[in-house]
A and B are shown apart, each in its own frame.
Chain A
Amino acid sequence: MASPSEAAAGSDGEAQAVFRGITDDVSRVALNPTPKWWWPAFGVSNLMLLCLVVSLYHLFTTGIGVWGNNNIQGWAWDITNFVFWIGIGHAGTLISAVLYLFRQDWRTSINRSAEAMTIFAVAAAGIFPIIHTGRPWFAWWMIPHPNDMGMWPQFRSPLMWDVFAISTYATTSILFWYMGMVPDLATLRDRAKERWKQVGYGLLALGWRGSARQWHRYERAYLILAALSTPLVLSVHSVVSFDFATSQNPGWHTTIFPPYFVAGAIFSGFAMVATLLVPLRHLCGLKHIIKESHIEAMCKIMIATGLMVGGAYGIEIFIAWYSGNAGEWFTFRNRVLGEYSWAYFAMVSCNVLVPQFFWIRKCRTNPWIVVGLCILINVGMWFERFVIIATSLARQAMPGMWGYFSPTRWDVLTFIGSFGLFFTLFLLFARFLPVIAMAEVKAVSPEAHAGKDHH
């Protein structure tokens, strides 16, 4: 170290070096020139985003008819994608909030990107409830406001609950994410060399100066936000599950949906976090901060949540049989053995069998295997929603209206496009914002106690 005083300080100076190392490594990502891999990745994401723009243009000018939805399956890929994305979002909140409450310090390495992922997933999810409506230009009628029609929304509808749940969730996620980022934005402000970056980060950092009094209130506020986000995250996917569970449709109307959806959401969310972070830690050189053990921990959570989901599959089928409700029992037999059985088996094998590989240590440590298995899990979780929505609706109470859903190319393009939106936002985040919560990593490092009396 250059400073003699620091050198003289011995181990205490080393603590500072550790902190500076963290600052350097993380700030570098945002402040250094754009790395080579970024532009191609951004280009591909933009192309995918273009798919969304094109398909939405076609959708808005032509109608829902461009998709494969029909009078039997009013919802298909649109709501499947919605639930898929909103589920992905949940891991971020879980990592930031729930693990924070449980004092799982390892979360600090991944929570920032997981929260970012949450927000972008919610953004990707949020477009679907709007665009899936037949007349999206009237979607604002779902916001309660005085109007010339003198009408109010109908609050008994789970879709209204969705409006509130998702908007609350988006707001909270953004505030939580932003609040966690304020000290790190201040770091970037203080390290940026270009004037526009200084101004930009400076405005975003709100003039943060790390005062102990500020930290005190900040930490308390952060804790409260975490404590609020935890029941919120439970409620959001529960509310999403109510969209189905409040109906009378066999296959939809079941009481275990709320916790089951939450478990599934966490499951898919962790898979998505791992899918993103494993490459990111390689590309951004953050392997010493996002450690192998963190990836392993996520894999273990995937085993647990995967089994919860599997348990829910089991109890659903058992109760369907037990209930003595013929329609209920048929729906599940049809799900397993009917013409959509391919989807059901895709779901079960990806969601219940695939995570079992994570019992094997090798599968948790090899990045290729982790990413591969996580992608399979996400495929499986997409299929779970598809199975719930499409196969249940395909054969309901009236055999005179049984059908089979076939997607159109616009279904596919819209879905790809939602990935484009997600990846584009994520790449922008990874390029310009602190991808790791520096202050939190420092706070939980052993060096944070340097110079304290051990008492």
Chain B
Amino acid sequence: MYGGISIIELLAMLLGDDTPADELVAKTYAESGAGGTWRAALHDGFVDRTQLPRAAVQAGGGGGAALTATAAGGSGAQNGNLEVTFLPSSQTYDGRFANNPWLQETPDFLTKVTWDNVALISPDTADALGVSSQDVVRIKVGDRALDIVALVMPGQARGSIGVILGGGRTRAGRVGNKQREWVGGGFDAYKLRTSAGLDFVTGATVSRTGTRYKIATTQEHHDIRRGFSISATIGDKEIQKKLPDLVRETDRAGFADVAYKAEKTHPYYHDHEHGRGYSLYKEQTYDGRRWAMAIDLGNCMGCNACVVACQAENNVPVVGKREVTRNREMSWLRIDRYFRGDLNDPEVVGQPVACQHCENAPCETVCPVGATLHSSEGLNDMVYNRCVGTRYCLNNCPYRVRRFNFVDYHQEFNDARNNVRKLLFNPDVTVRERGVMEKCTYCVQRIQAAKIKAKNPAPHGAGERGPIADGTITTACQAACPTEAIVFGDLSDPESRVSKLHGDRRQYELLGELNDKPRTRFLARVRNPNPELAPAGKPAGHH
């Protein structure tokens, strides 16, 4: 970027060759005989027909049963003989990305932890050890010891401690270095890891050090099970009760039933397309385009790509660990993760939730200055510079997808030394000031760009004013989704993918009973577990 020279160029220069690096590489590539051009290989990211030959492998006899036993039972080992497994971090991998704040603040899909690496302990083992979340524990293996914060993790195998790598770096950079508790940075798990046991070691002893360490999670901001037992039960039970409604699922048999409909019609639910139904007023209608989204839960695997893509596209600030502990993370799109069933062997369900762009959005009606209102195409628009920040909309959003700039998260850009980091902003998206509410916009800047383009004559645009072809606009999350779980488009076009998905029998509205008429609809997940692998006595995805 600054016209510096790369290592190969330097080496080549030392050898007296001042060919530019790319040409050097291209030359080497051509010499390698891989076929095609370097440019093509660079563009495609792979070289065709260079894969390894397919290996023929077969599962051993009775493999299913063995796997089941491991998952459900674990080793059940006593303290002193615990197993420690080393897991790469979903954020920093082995620590190499520790200096990337986007990644640091992207919550791990399962643990929802940001900014730190932790030791995962199953609920049973934690009870046996007398450890609870946020306790700093000392894990001893032989003469090696590691002080790391514990997180009680449903689904972790009994008797096994999952130590996540990647934290506790001292020379990673301004962001990645291990710092004070409130800044994060994690723990150096390599203290335990030797070449003798790269993936796991056994014979570990875990003891409480007596100190506590605040973990910043984006869900269960505190342990739901805190407080006296009734309090804990109420939260847990409620989640279990809500789950079948929030994250709808069915199994193969259920889906095969032609009468299956994920939208469990509320008795007072009315047909959105016709009539007033039970609304006490004539609702607004939309003549032109109607943007909408469909999220197929069956495809979502919780990889977080959408979350990071949204953050990059929409100039969503990274807020730091302390703010995350105060529930102030700014990500417009979050993936809710729930555990179902026995907490030692739960099923995990995830659900990406962003602004649902309700037609009857409860957030809009309470804004005193009209800073959030509906566009003629059905977008729930946020007018940043009209917002005075009453936060009423936030309180009134049943989906809790609105994000408030509690302090100036862009303050550091006042410092000239951070100038070059300004380049990370998307020029098409306003950077929000403190005191302003924000939320998912369906990437309105992309929609507007497409609309402008559609008005331009060919060949830049479609050549005439008219419909924007389905698929022309992709939201950032949609573009990043590897499984195409997210589909965006125009409902007024009956042939668009999103229209079809909205007509799918797996579709349902989140919290539809409120008559908010969300434009984002979910498609129920169809679980189809291998009956051989499903633990005995456990219904496969029934609700």
Direct contact between A and B judged by beta carbons closer than 8 A = yes
The digit string for B273-313, where 1 denotes a CB below 8 A from any CB of A, is 00000000000000000000000000000000000000000
Judged by a CB distance under 8 angstroms, whether A399 is at the interface is yes
B136 to chain A, nearest CB (A): 21
The digit string for A305-337, where 1 denotes a CB below 8 A from any CB of B, is 000000000000000000000100010011001
- Tell me if B's interface is mostly helix, strand, loop or mixed: loop
Judged by a CB distance under 8 angstroms, whether B436 is at the interface is yes
Judged by a CB distance under 8 angstroms, whether A102 is at the interface is no
Q: Which residues of B contact A64 (CB under 8 A)?
A: 389, 391, 404, 406-407, 434-435
| Inter-subunit contact A157/B368 (CB<8 Å) | yes
Q: Which residues of B contact A401 (CB under 8 A)?
A: 219, 327, 334, 336, 400
| Inter-subunit contact B435/A63 (CB<8 Å) | yes
Which A114-171 residues sit within 8 Å CB-CB of chain B? 132-136, 138-139, 141-142, 149, 151-154, 156-160, 163
Judged by a CB distance under 8 angstroms, whether B337 is at the interface is yes
Judged by a CB distance under 8 angstroms, whether A104 is at the interface is no
Which residue of chain B lies nearest to A398 when distances are taken between CB atoms in the complex?
B400
| Inter-subunit contact A63/B334 (CB<8 Å) | no
Judged by a CB distance under 8 angstroms, whether A341 is at the interface is yes
- Selected interface stretch from B76-84, B175-183, B222-230: B222-230
Name the one of A65, A136, A248 contacting B406, with C-beta atoms under 8 angstroms.
A65
A79 to chain B, nearest CB (A): 9
| Inter-subunit contact A249/B396 (CB<8 Å) | yes
CA separation between A69 and B367, bound complex, in Å? 18
Judged by a CB distance under 8 angstroms, whether A368 is at the interface is no
| Inter-subunit contact A68/B368 (CB<8 Å) | no
CA separation between A154 and B326, bound complex, in Å? 31
Name the one of A133, A151, A163, A402 contacting B224, with C-beta atoms under 8 angstroms.
A402
Name the one of B227, B329, B362, B408 contacting A71, with C-beta atoms under 8 angstroms.
B329
Which residue of chain A lies nearest to B236 when distances are taken between CB atoms in the complex?
A399
Name the one of B336, B391, B408 contacting A63, with C-beta atoms under 8 angstroms.
B408
Name the one of B221, B351, B388 contacting A138, with C-beta atoms under 8 angstroms.
B388
CA separation between A170 and B20, bound complex, in Å? 76
Judged by a CB distance under 8 angstroms, whether B234 is at the interface is yes
Q: Which residues of A contact B395 (CB under 8 A)?
A: 73-75, 247, 249, 393
Q: Which residues of A contact B (CB under 8 A)?
A: 62-66, 68-75, 132-136, 138-139, 141-142, 149, 151-154, 156-160, 163, 243, 246-249, 326, 330, 333-334, 337-339, 341, 393, 395-404, 406
CA separation between A301 and B231, bound complex, in Å? 35
CA separation between A289 and B388, bound complex, in Å? 48
| Inter-subunit contact A402/B235 (CB<8 Å) | yes
| Inter-subunit contact A142/B398 (CB<8 Å) | no
The digit string for B424-442, where 1 denotes a CB below 8 A from any CB of A, is 0000000001111100000
A50 to chain B, nearest CB (A): 24
| Inter-subunit contact B396/A247 (CB<8 Å) | yes
A348 to chain B, nearest CB (A): 16
Check A71/B338 contact, CB under 8 A, given A247-B366, A404-B222.
no
| Inter-subunit contact A157/B365 (CB<8 Å) | yes
Judged by a CB distance under 8 angstroms, whether B246 is at the interface is yes
Which B317-340 residues sit within 8 Å CB-CB of chain A? 323, 326-329, 334, 336-338
Check A70/B235 contact, CB under 8 A, given A153-B370, A404-B221.
no
| Inter-subunit contact A63/B511 (CB<8 Å) | no
Name the one of B220, B391, B437 contacting A402, with C-beta atoms under 8 angstroms.
B220
Check A141/B392 contact, CB under 8 A, given A71-B329, A398-B400, A400-B336.
no
| Inter-subunit contact B390/A133 (CB<8 Å) | yes
| Inter-subunit contact A246/B370 (CB<8 Å) | no
A202 to chain B, nearest CB (A): 42
Q: Which residues of A contact B351 (CB under 8 A)?
A: 400
Complex A-B, nearest 4 residue pairs according to Cβ-Cβ distance, in ascending order? A134-B389, A134-B435, A400-B336, A74-B391
Which residue of chain A lies nearest to B238 when distances are taken between CB atoms in the complex?
A330
Name the one of B230, B239, B368 contacting A153, with C-beta atoms under 8 angstroms.
B368
A184 to chain B, nearest CB (A): 39
Q: Which residues of B contact A (CB under 8 A)?
A: 219-222, 224, 226-227, 230-231, 234-235, 238-239, 241-242, 246, 323, 326-329, 334, 336-338, 351, 353, 362, 365-370, 373, 386-392, 394-396, 398-400, 402-408, 433-437, 511, 514, 516
| Inter-subunit contact B242/A154 (CB<8 Å) | no
| Inter-subunit contact B407/A63 (CB<8 Å) | yes
CA separation between A221 and B390, bound complex, in Å? 38
Q: Which residues of B contact A337 (CB under 8 A)?
A: 230-231, 234
| Inter-subunit contact A160/B353 (CB<8 Å) | no
Check A135/B433 contact, CB under 8 A, given A65-B323, A69-B406, A154-B368.
yes
Name the one of B241, B366, B391 contacting A69, with C-beta atoms under 8 angstroms.
B391
CA separation between A75 and B394, bound complex, in Å? 9
Q: Which residues of A contact B327 (CB under 8 A)?
A: 70-73, 401, 403
Q: Which residues of A contact B234 (CB under 8 A)?
A: 330, 333-334, 337-338
- Could you list some 29 contacts between A and B, CB below 8 A? A63-B405, A64-B407, A65-B407, A68-B326, A71-B329, A72-B221, A133-B388, A134-B405, A134-B434, A138-B369, A153-B370, A154-B365, A154-B367, A154-B369, A157-B368, A159-B368, A159-B390, A159-B392, A246-B366, A248-B362, A248-B398, A334-B238, A337-B230, A338-B227, A341-B227, A395-B235, A395-B238, A397-B399, A400-B334
Q: Which residues of B contact A402 (CB under 8 A)?
A: 219-221, 224, 235
CA separation between A154 and B388, bound complex, in Å? 13
Q: Which residues of B contact A157 (CB under 8 A)?
A: 365-368, 392
Q: A69-B406, A73-B395, A330-B241 are in contact. List 11 more A-B contacts (CB 8 A).
A: A63-B406, A65-B406, A132-B390, A156-B366, A157-B392, A159-B367, A338-B234, A397-B242, A398-B400, A400-B338, A400-B400
Q: Which residues of B contact A393 (CB under 8 A)?
A: 395
Name the one of B231, B404, B436 contacting A74, with C-beta atoms under 8 angstroms.
B404
A247 to chain B, nearest CB (A): 5
Q: Which residues of B contact A160 (CB under 8 A)?
A: 368
A172 to chain B, nearest CB (A): 22
| Inter-subunit contact A247/B369 (CB<8 Å) | no
Q: Which residues of B contact A153 (CB under 8 A)?
A: 368-370
B281 to chain A, nearest CB (A): 11
CA separation between A403 and B327, bound complex, in Å? 7
CA separation between A133 and B389, bound complex, in Å? 5
Which residue of chain B lies nearest to A247 when distances are taken between CB atoms in the complex?
B396
CA separation between A135 and B403, bound complex, in Å? 15
CA separation between A395 and B242, bound complex, in Å? 12
CA separation between A139 and B399, bound complex, in Å? 27
CA separation between A246 and B364, bound complex, in Å? 12
Interface-central residue, A153, A395, A400, by most chain B CB under 10 Å: A400
A40 to chain B, nearest CB (A): 38
Check A339/B231 contact, CB under 8 A, given A135-B389, A401-B400.
yes
Q: Which residues of A contact B238 (CB under 8 A)?
A: 330, 334, 395, 399
Interface-central residue, B368, B388, B403, B516, by most chain A CB under 10 Å: B368
Which residue of chain B lies nearest to A404 when distances are taken between CB atoms in the complex?
B222
| Inter-subunit contact B398/A396 (CB<8 Å) | yes
Interface-central residue, A65, A158, A163, by most chain B CB under 10 Å: A65
| Inter-subunit contact B221/A135 (CB<8 Å) | no
Q: Which residues of B contact A397 (CB under 8 A)?
A: 242, 398-400, 511
Name the one of B227, B390, B407 contacting A339, with C-beta atoms under 8 angstroms.
B227
Q: Which residues of A contact B338 (CB under 8 A)?
A: 399-400
B397 to chain A, nearest CB (A): 9
CA separation between A339 and B232, bound complex, in Å? 8
A431 to chain B, nearest CB (A): 37
Name the one of A71, A133, A334, A395 contacting B328, with C-beta atoms under 8 angstroms.
A71
CA separation between A339 and B395, bound complex, in Å? 20
A287 to chain B, nearest CB (A): 46
Q: Which residues of A contact B404 (CB under 8 A)?
A: 64, 69, 71, 74, 134
Q: Which residues of B contact A396 (CB under 8 A)?
A: 398, 400
Which residue of chain A lies nearest to B323 when distances are taken between CB atoms in the complex?
A65
Q: Which residues of A contact B362 (CB under 8 A)?
A: 247-248
Check A326/B242 contact, CB under 8 A, given A135-B435, A152-B370, A400-B338.
yes
CA separation between A403 and B220, bound complex, in Å? 7
